Structure 1
């Protein structure tokens, strides 16, 4: 990831936003050493892919941002201010690259001060794809350690919120690397498919494209939602429901969807080779690339 633009939001005291977005150099100092995003990972974020200066699915990302803020008892983000910051970062980004991304972040703020949250939007160029192609990925299944109903039984675990606390997700990706894979699909201890560390799972089972519901404590996928809309428009059957691991193992194709990567096909699952449906993958990503915002 190569940082290209940075915009700081003045969120005011007690979360009351002031109408102020300041452009900074990406290397400029932004946080204090006592900001809770750095010391505790206490905050939320979203990442929006930007194509020719246009943020994709921005309203869906802002809606999910608001949902995460509510789950963490953070002040409700004022959507117009955050939208302005993302659009400013996207416009600045377009001068550097035709395809990039903007990450926007709200921290709870400085634990040594009485002010409100800290906010910023960072424009960056994601790691490039070889030849511009969507990567085919080797995936392993890892147990997340929770039942499928953890979001209902233990909401304080914040399953389904997009938080800055990514240590477990990164540890899972390192475990995948140790096993010779590039990515992970988390499962529940009672045998249901959840999500990836930074992606949503789509599986084609009995000619139906399925994904796991948010009630399982997974993050609602903005990219997955756009893929499902495109598939439905093309006449395919789509469904959001529980998927057990045995069902996943008989799927004839699997994808991991994320904002920056698009729809990435799974080429192996737990070292077992998996079929890659190139025509459908291309249709998915063509639809994503054709979005106007």
Structure 2
């Protein structure tokens, strides 16, 4: 099941929710989790995009759709039931950790929350302007330091999204990335996450955005496994129908190669471990 998907409820997406579900069903999926963007206090962007989720309407709509997905009319001749899970990709930064810590208790009905870092020093690295006048290595370090701050002060999430998101957009991408340059940060991040019962995601969205690897980078995934990390989800980060379930068989092989035997699904913010079948 794809556990990182965007629809028209996200500021940067126009995909229809029901069309997304049908695309997933055509791929043989029996479940997906919609995870639209909610980025509180997102700074003004050069292209004017905002990421404030209309959370109550979003959850209400998906709850209705959840029931519809169980109906014979929706399933047509398909005897396999389809389970829709309700999630959010929570854009978190040091200034919003405290405000967002009660999000799931304030909005009942959520199955899953991805915590993601999209903003560093009041700008999304997606915009090339972020790197102007910065040393790439220093910019990467600041990004990872913010993740450490977030996992230390924010706990209302299940997995951390695209841990090395910044590598998508750096001037040299991952060409000069060496995880050992940031080892003490990653070790502290994973120690805290594992202690808190949190996990990470394999995000295949980097592959159709020009990178040669899935998030997170091999070195980061290896460290997570070596430190005892077990909770892991797989998500395409799709904003368009053609990217739903992108390279998932490769993602499954990658997990097995790194020693993972299970991936996770979530219901009511609690994980279920599912064997990885190749």
TM-score normalised by L of structure 2: 0.30
Taking structure 1 as the reference length, what is the TM-score of the superposition?
A: 0.29
Give 1 or 2 for the bigger CA radius of gyration. Answer: 1
